[in-house]
Each structure stands twice: as C-alpha cells, then as structure tokens.
Amino acid sequence: MKKTPLIILSALTLLAGNGFAQTNVVNKTSSQKKKTTALPDVKKGFEFAEKQTALLLKETALVKAQSKKTALISPRSLDTADNLELVPSKDWCSGFFPGELWYLLEYTKDPQWEAAARNYTSDVEAEKTNGTTHDMGFKIYCSVGNGYRLTKNEHYKSVLLEAAKTLATRFNPKVGSIKSWDNRKNWKFPVIIDNMMNLELLFEATKISGDSSFYKIAVAHANTAMKNHFRSDYSSYHVIDYDPETGAVLHKQTHQGYADGSAWARGQAWGLYGYTMCYRYTKNKAYLEQAEHIAHFIFSNPHLPADLIPYWDYNDPAIPQSPRDVSAATVTASALYELSTYSSNGAQYKLWADKIIHQLNANYLAKPGSSRGFILLHSTGNKPSNGEIDVPIIYADYYYLEALLRQKHLADTGKIF
C-alpha cells in the first residue's frame, strides 16, 4: 500500500482546521536533541511511533472516507478481521488519539503534528457539554488539556472549564462521588475505579480558573474511593454501587474483571495513576501513601510476570494462559515515573517503569507498517464481554507515549513536566 506523505496530511488538516494561530512550541535546542539521543528506549519509541502514527492517520482518513457514519472521528482498536475501528466523539476513547498527536508534537517539535493534533482535537470539543457519563477527563483532558498545556490557547482553556462544569453536575454530595454510568444493570449510583483518572480535569480547572469548587469535588471523590474501593491488601474493586439518597454502599462488584473479588489489572493501574496525580495537586500524604500501597500490591503480586506486563486480571485462574494487558502496563509505567519524584522509594519505582518501557520496546511493538498504524500489541479491553482481547488499543499507545515523555523529562530536568 502506497503511503501518503505526512506533510500532505498535515497540510490538509491545516486547511480543515479551526484557523488557530501557530504557536512557538516547535523550537528545539541542540542540547535537547543530545539528551534525547542518550535515552535509547525514548528515541526508539518515538521514532517508531512517528512512522506508525503517520500510517494510522492515513488509515483513519480512508475509513472516514468510506464510511457512511459521519460521526466517526477517532481510531480505537482493530476488530477480529484486523479492520480499523473508529468511534464517535461520545465514545470514552475519542480523546486519546488527539492526545497522542500532541505528545508527538511535544517530543519532535515538528509543526506537522500540531496541525493533525488541532484537527482531531476540534472533533472532540463538542463533548464539553455531554453530561451523560463520567468520561470527560478521558475525552477532553487528554485532547484539549494537552493542547492547552502546550499552546496556552485561550479557546482550549474555555473548553476545559466548560467540560469541568459539565463533569461536576454528576457529583452527588450525599455519596461524595461522581457517578460513572447511567442505566447500567440494576446499579443505582455506580462509581468505577477508572473515574479517578477524570479528577485531573477538575484539579486543573481550579488551577486555571481559581474556582475551588472543582478541587473540592475531586478531593471528595478521591476520599470516598479510598474509603470504599480498596481491600485490605490495597487491591481495588472495579465498581462500587451506592444508594444516592443515603450514600450507603450497596454492592462491590466488577464489570470488566474476572470476578467481583478479583484484581482487574487495568483497574489497579487506574488507582495507582489516580492517587499519584491527586498527590501532585493536593500534597495530601494520604494520597501518596495510597499510591505507594497500590504499587506494592502490583509489584509483590505472585502473578505478575517477570517482564512486568500484567495478565488482564491478577486472579484469573487460567494464568499463565491468560491474555496480557499492555494498556495496564503503560498506565502503570507513566504513573511510576511521576510517583518516583515524590516517594522515598522513587529509585525503585523508576527502575520498574524503565523495565516496563524496555520490555514493551523489545517484545510488544507492532511490526513496522502493520496493525493499521497502532504502536503496541496485546492489550485487553473487556474480556468478560469478549471485547478487544489481545489487540492494539489506542489508550495503550497514549499512555506509552506519555511514559516515554516522562522518562525523558526526568532525565532532562528531574521532573516529569
């Protein structure tokens, strides 16, 4: 298949884009280049990601052109026939590909990635007023949030604040949590561990606006989850169902894990990342200690493979024949790089993160020019529903690039930002 040069794609996206002025994020010093080449896993990862993502842009454009579903905007995974699956903006995964493009811009400083990032980000912005799920952070913060961080564009700021206001409408003060889903099973007020990831949007909204109401909601949610989501060994339930009238816990269950009492691998990663991030914004030591406890559970688990790429659920009795979940590994690695900057056990956390990244680069990358342009193989989305098992998934690639950037920033400055 003949490849479309990326520069042509970029020109097209600029013409189709929203007309925002170019920013100064394309400058790159020679010292930065030298430091980048001193990190072989970062260099290898981003060089491969650039080539694969150029292919993914092309494949996505082809599917869009051929599909009658005009609402499809962003790549998510491959189906069992290796066909590229796109999703509409309302899908919880719609913001990861724009975020991936922003990360490529951040590393390369190449304006062609900014053109593509702006174009795909604009497709997700309408979600800022969609109050039907908790996934506002995944959709808006991973896309618009990264765009604002890199460009400081005031339009992006306004989108972030509108999205935070929408997310805040799902908070129930009696429960002390943000509701995750509407009309799922017989749950009255389900809250999933994944929801910890959406708190970053609220914390950031307070940071950029001065409105403390967002911060207070995020803290309340984190505290409630810390109280009810975790077992004595600091493994996490997936779903806690509450009585919205009294705040009482009704059920502790799973939706994507092996069993109600099992440790779903990506859920443990969400918790690790979420409480590390909460510590960044609050400096509440209880959150730091929670993150450290979760890390201890993960890395002392007898079912964690030697390469640190977990099986999809730590309690699946089919281990070691169970599928891996690379997405859980990438989220974990990214969280560990940040946690390493806060904890007295930081050196060990960084070693684990470095090992995960090295193993991903050595054994889990797609073959060049394959998989429609996805970067990593062997993720598991929802095994109980037979969905996305042992396939590439866009959020695995997103957190992989984030982890690579954090590894680079640590080497350059001793910080992740």
Instruction: Report helix, strand or coil for 76.
Output: strand
135 a catalytic residue: yes
Residue 113 labelled as part of a binding site: no
Q: How many angstroms separate the CA atoms of 116 and 103, rounded?
A: 12
- Residue 68's Cβ-count burial label (10 Å; 0-12, 13-18, 19+) is exposed
Tell me the backbone φ, ψ of residue 146, rounded to 5 degrees.
Answer: -70, -35
Residue 37 labelled as part of a binding site: no
Q: Do 271 and 229 form a contact (C-beta atoms < 8 A)?
A: yes
Tell me the two tokens of residue 117: 């990032």
Residue 129 labelled as part of a binding site: no
Q: How many angstroms separate the CA atoms of 72 and 123, rounded?
A: 10
Residue 23 labelled as part of a binding site: no
Q: How many angstroms separate the CA atoms of 138 and 147, rounded?
A: 14
CA nearest neighbour of 121 among 104, 101, 92: 101
Residue 254 labelled as part of a binding site: yes
Residue-by-residue DSSP string for 140-190: IIIIIIHHHHHH--HHHHHHHHHHHHHHHTTEETTTTEE---SS-TT-SSE
- Residue 209's Cβ-count burial label (10 Å; 0-12, 13-18, 19+) is middle
**Going by C-beta distance under 8 Å and a sequence separation of 6 or more, which residues neighbour residue 319?**
303, 311
Residue-by-residue DSSP string for 291-336: HHHHHHHHHT-TTS-TTS--BSBTT-TTTTSSPB-HHHHHHHHHHH
Tell me the backbone φ, ψ of residue 186, rounded to 5 degrees.
Answer: -110, 15
From its phi and psi, is residue 208 left (phi > 0), alpha (psi between -120 and 50) or beta? alpha
Active-site position among 41, 91, 135, 241: 135
Active-site position among 91, 123, 194, 316: 194
Residue 170 labelled as part of a binding site: no
As annotated, the binding site includes 135, 194, 254, 266, 270, 385
As annotated, the binding site for substrate includes 135, 194, 254, 266, 270, 385
Catalytic site positions: 135, 194
